[in-house]
Structures are given as C-alpha cells and as structure tokens.
Structure 1
C-alpha cells in the first residue's frame, strides 16, 4: 500500500533544517505505527512539490533514513518502509486531554449512565460463549447473501445504490414486507403504513420520540429489554414498570394513567414467556379503556421451531391502537441492523419525518440486497436451517441443565435462542459471571433487565445460538461448579 503524500506536512514553527524536519516526520510516522513495514513512500519529486521544497532536500532525507534502516530502496520502484524498521512501542493508555472546555457545563443532555451491559467484542475466542445477541457465523447463508449483494450492485439496480430516497424506502423491500412477511403474522398493511429502520432498537427510539413527552407515562414490563428502558429514560417520560408473570404482561396491573404500553407478547424479553390469546385480547381491551397505545416488539417470533408462533397482537387490533416492531437482525445476521415499523399512517408519517432528519434512510444497497435475499427464498431456507440447529442445541442445553441441577426460571414454549435461569437467592450473578471469564465461560447476568433501586441479582440468561452443541454440557458443568 502506498502512503498518501497528503499525510505529510511541515510545521512552520519546527526547528532545524528542512532535511532534518522531513527525516523526523517520516521517522515519527514509523515509530508511531502510522507507517507500516512494506508501505511505499511518495516519490522524491512528488513529496518535494507537495512540501514546496527542493527535490534534493527530500532525496537527502530519504538517503539518511535509508542508511539508518528506516527505509529500503527497491530498484526503480522507489522507497519503502524497511522490514528492519524499528517496531512501534507497545500502546499505552491514552493520556487524558486537557480541553479548555468545561464539559460538565457544556453538555446539555446526557445519554450515558444507562444499564445496557458491555459484551466482549472477542466473544468468539471463549470456549463456552452462552452469550445472547451473537450467533454462530456458520448458521448464516453467506454465499447467497454475497450473490444478492452482487446482484444489487448490477446496472439494473444501480439506482438503489446512488439514489437519495430522502424519507422513503426501497420499494421492493417494502413490497416484500407487506405481501409476505406481515401476512405470516396475520397483519395486513399498506406501504404507507410501513417504515424501514436500523433494527428494532432504532424503531423503538423513533416510537418513543414520537409518542412520549415529559408528561406522559410509559408502562413497561419488569424485567424488560434493558436498552428499551434506557431509551425511555432518555425521552424523559414517566416510567411505570409492571411485573410480568408466567404469561407475560398482566393487563390488570397496568396503571390507569398509562399513555403507551410497551410489550413483547410473542417472546417476553428476557423471561421467554408467551402471552396467551385470551390475555392478548384482555390487553387490547385494557388499552382501549385507558385510550392508550401499545408498542408490540415481536421479538424472536421467527425462532419458533418447537411449534408455530401465535398470531401477532397487531393482527387482533381493530382500531389501529397497536404499533408493531419487527426486525431481520437476529434472523438474518446481527450486524445487519435492519428492522421495520408498522402503524397507522399519521404515526408512520411523523416517524418517517423524524428518521429523515436524523439519518434520511437505511442504505439503499442494503435494503435492495435484503429484498433479493428475501424474495428469492434464501431467508426462509436459512430460518429452517437455523431452526433445526437451535432445536438440537435447545435439547442439549435442557438436558445439561437438568443433569447438573441448575434451575430454569423461564423457557420459551415456542422456541427462541435462550433460557432464563435462576440461582439461589442472595447469589450475585454479576460476580459469578466475572469469575467464570477465567474458565472461558460467558453468561449474561440478569440484574440489568429489572427496574428499581434494588433489582434481584440471582437471575441470568443462557443463550445457545453462539455455542456449538458439543461444548454445551462442558460449559454448563463449569457454571454449576461456580454456583455450587
């Protein structure tokens, strides 16, 4: 790789000759790690013109660096960073910069301080990664996704890459969602009632911004998706946590001043409970009595490999009270960040305008690639393949949990990719999770899912989407030993 000539600048206030300054500039680039071994430097003529110095000055600087083994010459090809050049020193923790700004006063609104946990970026190096939200890359159809991406880059679809849709979305993706994806959940929607988002979390953020104010009340499940609670806290609305039971959110416990109700009826997060049909109808009735809206996060409905999923709550909605959140991120691949909102036109119109002011629209090429992947049947084939693998892992993990005497707090009746677990009361699972890292075991403590000042610390979640079947029993044995 060639080093761009634009990266070289002479400091007007620097001391020493021009030749010495050029030598020092290149040596510093090598010692700092910016210039790496084998990279080609600009020609002496090009660098001289760029810096406004004579060519002989640059040539002498290169010659001196050549003699000190910082550079090497390759015939008529030019000068390169030498293979024997000094190695950059090990990275040190960055020294805090002393800004001249008092950021404690300058920042008008804070978004840090939430409870969303940090997950190791190197999770794949752990032998027993019972970690949620990451997946075994072998489960995904990389070959056909690549072919669809190439097709989307073709001349026929070039406008999907080059067009600024402003506040609109790829019409082929919208058509597929409207004609194929939503009818499977019992939902009929027009294109004007669908908005593509950057995953479900972005959809929840847009919804909170449009529907909630400081004077409005949001009823949320307890425990619930921790990122949702962060989003609602940042919106400055009033939160009303409602404890879930074995059937999910109990409608009678929703407070009478609730304006918006957030729920995960198909697969409660994180307990995995599925809301039965009679309770779904009761929830719609309760929302109508309160004149409240319902935001349905149809979380993990695609992972229903044990039995067909229940119809979406939105499919029972007769008066447009339910706003539906769907996502392809977990079922295609987590890094895709592609989801969608479905709701009445007045709501979608405002959400679309807000999205346009923040990010315009998700990239057109990604939308068109997803549209091809879905419409050509690759998505359905992948879901079936993932279902078979997850069903096998689910059986292995349940047998291992029973064999090693661990306690299950919630298991999805339809499937899913995780099991909600409970240790003995008084057990700090955050502390145990840190200790298990030394055994190459990753688990997710459950404390962050709960609202309140003293959330229970003895729950944890075991995901089986990111660990092969043959390692599950060994990993469960390690966890059982840590809890013994």
Structure 2
C-alpha cells in the first residue's frame, strides 16, 4: 500500500532545516504507527512538488532515513518503510484512575501563588512587541554561536562535553569571567570566588538559600524584580520592602534589622534608575553600620550606551560584604540560562555545595560554547551591535513618547532596554494591556513589581530590545490612544 502524499505537510512553526523537518515527519509517522512496514512512500519528485521544496532536499531526507534503517530502497521501485523500522508501542490505554490523595494535606510546602506574571510565548507574532528581555533575531550572531557550538562538540573538547564536573565549572569560562568580564566592572576575583549558575534568577535563589533563614530579614527594593520576591517568600525569611526614588534604593530607609540587602544599582528593576556614586558609598556604609550583606544584581550593565557604566558596588567593597550576580542570559539570549555569582570564598564554597546537591552544574557543552563565543571576540562585537541598535531605538521611542504625551517614570541614566511608564492615576495597565493585544501591541503591566496587597495599577514597562525601530512610533500611538479611551470609560 502506498502512503498518500497528502499525508505530509510542513508546519509553519517547525524548527530546523527543511531536510530535518521532512525526516521528522516520516520518523514520527513510523513511530506513531501511521506508516507501517512495507508501505511505499511518495516519490521524491512528487513529495517535493507537494511540499514546495527542492527534490534534492527530499532525496537527502530519504537517504538519511535509509541509513538509519527507517526506510529501505527497492531498485527503481522507490522507498518503503523498512521491515527493521522501530515498532510502535502496543498497549491498551490505562483505565481512568481516581486520584484519592488529599493534596491539600500531602504537600509539605507550596511554591505556586507567586506574583510572577505570565508572558506570551508567541510574543514574536505581535507587530508591536514592547516586551522586555527577549532576543531580537535580527541582532543575534547566530552564525558564530553555531560555529562555537560545533567547535565545543569537537574531539578536543570531549572532556568538557561529557564529563561530570560534580561541583566544579568549565575552567575556560571561569577564567574568561575572572580575566575579562569582571575587570570591566572593576572587580578582581579568583576562580575560587566564582560560581557558574543557571542564569541570574538561579544565582539569586542560591544566595537566598545560603544567607537567609526564617529568623533573618531581607531588605528589597520596592518596586523590584517580582521573581526575587517569590524566591524570598519561599525561603520564609522576613521581607522588608524599601521604596526607591529617582536614584534607586535609599540607604537611610533600610531597616537596621536587615541581614541581607538585595539591590539593582546599575539599572534599578523596573524603574531603570541608576544609583549615583555618593549613594553607592552610602549603601556600603549602611551595610557596615548594621552588619548586613549586599546582593548586587548587575543586570544590563553592558547596555550602557548613553554614558559609561558606573562602577559596580562589588568594586567598591573592601570588606567582602557584596555578593555580585552577573548574567549572560540578558546580553546573549534568555534561553541560554547562564549566569554567575562572585563572592568571598567561604560563601562560594557553600553556594557550590548547594548547587551540586540540586543540579550539580550547568551543562558542560553550554559552558564551553559560551567560553568560545566570549574568548573569540564574538560577544564584544554582538554587544556593540546591540548597543547601537538600542541607542537608536531609545531615541526614536523617546521622540514618539514626547509626541504622544505619555508619561515616563524612569528611563535609565546610562542606557538599558526599557522605559518605566506611568499612566493616569485612575488607569489600569492590566486592563488596557489586554485591549492592546487585539491591536498587536504587547506591554508589561507593572503591578506585579510592587510589594503591596494593593499595588498601584497605573504603571507599565515598555521594552524596546525586540521591536523594529520603524514600528515604534505606530506602537506608541496605539498605546496613547488606548490610554485615552481608558480615561473615557465610565
């Protein structure tokens, strides 16, 4: 029996090359039992015509499946599902079961119920994606990342690819961070003082687990990164929100009972305020006065295109009080999930032990790929390209905002990739954000950033890292009109 060519179609959401997609279509058909042993596949010419691809693409896919024994070739007759092809599983569907467990009692702890908002996974399908933290494919250096990944797969790096580091990290990545990345922030650290993490959020979680107990107090910025607040609530420590102003966290407002102070001095999250040097020193003095530690999340320091980045708090620290959090996930791409912690050796030793008990270490291949991308100069070239693009987009966005009459609550003194916006006091950002989706516009409501049972509803964040420059004015105009309509509703 011949398999109809109409059975095959390429999904627009499929990933990989056309050849790989065709191979996957056929393999899935065999593994699911839809294509059976001995059945004939359409000719390469017929399938190519049906799918709208070249004949050589289909031929190469067939050849690869032939080599893997999914297909067999019979002279001039064509390709057939091989007699040696994997057999689809044969079993009866399980009987419907009744869950008799009382999960309200069985769960020892709960981790749901946080304030971290859901972000649309299909953000790239929107015409005006003012989303924060996503990668612009037009800027990312995919070709060189791919080459570095292939290089990391080579025989020379077999150990880095396959070894269980247990509680250690790729020495090449650690060396690059120590000798290149950190000195740019004025930080000098030994390998024993550096730990690779699965992004900045994992770094914050490790720091919270190591430093805080139910009897200790964490001071956090208000508003702040909402995932940090979730992390601290899960740790069961006492949390003291400290309101920020135009210069970020005010040291004078930090409660004296604080044990750990979490701060984002370079680009306060989400207001983007940059902490001036006098306040940075005052923060270190306050930490010394109350004998507290500081966890510095230095995200987006690379995105300083308006002015040179201010020195990191860690670079001013002479007592080992500051624990530094860095991330490549923000500057490269969020799916990378690669960050690092820098702190005193005693802290890093405990952090390393905790990480080893949970996930051992980030994948060796990812670490080595990143090490090559950094050391070969691709990272610096990418950052320069991103800075130039963000500088241009920020200028266009500022002009559009000024023209529309929207109110900027914070835009970062040194750069960054977002504006912190404030709507009229009676407006509800979550409400008009839903309406804007219908017009292809994505914005981020700001209520989740605030530590309050009744947070203000009129703040929102506009990112410009992922929206083409030419679409910014039209998108801003739609936001302004949506806000205007919101004010006229009863």
- Band of TM-score, shorter chain: 0.7 to 0.9
Residues 289 and 478 from structure 1, CA distance in 2 versus in 1: closer, same or farther, beyond 3 angstroms? Answer: same
Determine if the alignment matches structure 1 residue 118 to structure 2 residue 105: no
Equivalent-residue separation in structure 1 for 2:139 and 2:103 (angstroms): 45
The residue number in structure 1 matching 2:16 is none
Shift of 1:105: 1.2
The residue number in structure 1 matching 2:212 is 212
SS at match of 1:244: strand
SS at match of 2:218: strand
Equivalent-residue separation in structure 1 for 2:459 and 2:121 (angstroms): 23
CA contact (8 A) 1:40 1:78 kept: no
- Point out where structure 1 has 5 or more consecutive residues left out of the alignment: 1-32, 45-73, 81-95
Runs of 4+ in structure 1 over 6 Å off: 33-38
Residues 161 and 288 from structure 1, CA distance in 2 versus in 1: closer, same or farther, beyond 3 angstroms? Answer: same
Equivalent-residue separation in structure 2 for 1:213 and 1:415 (angstroms): 36
Equivalent-residue separation in structure 2 for 1:222 and 1:155 (angstroms): 50
Residues 270-300 of structure 1 show CA distances to partners (whole Å, capped at 9, x for unaligned) of: 0000000010010000000111000000011
Shift of 1:330: 1.2
Residues 147 and 253 from structure 1, CA distance in 2 versus in 1: closer, same or farther, beyond 3 angstroms? Answer: same
Shift of 1:135: 2.2
The residue number in structure 1 matching 2:453 is 453
Residues 278-327 of structure 1 show CA distances to partners (whole Å, capped at 9, x for unaligned) of: 10010000000111000000011010011110010000000100000000
The residue number in structure 1 matching 2:25 is none
The residue number in structure 1 matching 2:36 is 41
Match runs of 1:103-182 below 5 Å: 103-182=103-182
SS at match of 1:137: coil
Equivalent-residue separation in structure 2 for 1:184 and 1:442 (angstroms): 34
SS at match of 1:409: strand
Equivalent-residue separation in structure 1 for 2:185 and 2:230 (angstroms): 28
Normalised to the residue count of structure 2, the TM-score between the two structures is 0.81
Residues 35 and 426 from structure 1, CA distance in 2 versus in 1: closer, same or farther, beyond 3 angstroms? Answer: farther
Residues 364 and 245 from structure 1, CA distance in 2 versus in 1: closer, same or farther, beyond 3 angstroms? Answer: same
Equivalent-residue separation in structure 2 for 1:369 and 1:416 (angstroms): 26
Residues 43 and 469 from structure 1, CA distance in 2 versus in 1: closer, same or farther, beyond 3 angstroms? Answer: same
Residues 156 and 427 from structure 1, CA distance in 2 versus in 1: closer, same or farther, beyond 3 angstroms? Answer: same
CA contact (8 A) 1:219 1:255 kept: yes
**Aligned length in residues:** 410
The residue number in structure 2 matching 1:396 is 396
The residue number in structure 2 matching 1:69 is none
Equivalent-residue separation in structure 1 for 2:198 and 2:354 (angstroms): 13
SS at match of 2:347: helix
The residue number in structure 1 matching 2:202 is 202
Residues 154 and 101 from structure 1, CA distance in 2 versus in 1: closer, same or farther, beyond 3 angstroms? Answer: same
Equivalent-residue separation in structure 2 for 1:79 and 1:286 (angstroms): 73
Equivalent-residue separation in structure 1 for 2:345 and 2:29 (angstroms): 52
SS at match of 1:139: coil
Match runs of 1:274-353 below 5 Å: 274-353=274-353
CA contact (8 A) 1:423 1:458 kept: yes
- Point out where structure 2 has 5 or more consecutive residues left out of the alignment: 1-27, 40-73, 83-95, 485-490
SS at match of 1:351: helix
Equivalent-residue separation in structure 1 for 2:146 and 2:179 (angstroms): 24
Residues 410 and 35 from structure 1, CA distance in 2 versus in 1: closer, same or farther, beyond 3 angstroms? Answer: same
SS at match of 2:241: strand
Equivalent-residue separation in structure 1 for 2:459 and 2:114 (angstroms): 19
Residues 37-73 of structure 1 show CA distances to partners (whole Å, capped at 9, x for unaligned) of: 99643579xxxxxxxxxxxxxxxxxxxxxxxxxxxxx
CA contact (8 A) 1:149 1:369 kept: yes
- Greater Rg by CA: 1
The residue number in structure 2 matching 1:192 is 192
The residue number in structure 2 matching 1:273 is 273
Shift of 1:398: 0.4
Equivalent-residue separation in structure 2 for 1:351 and 1:227 (angstroms): 19
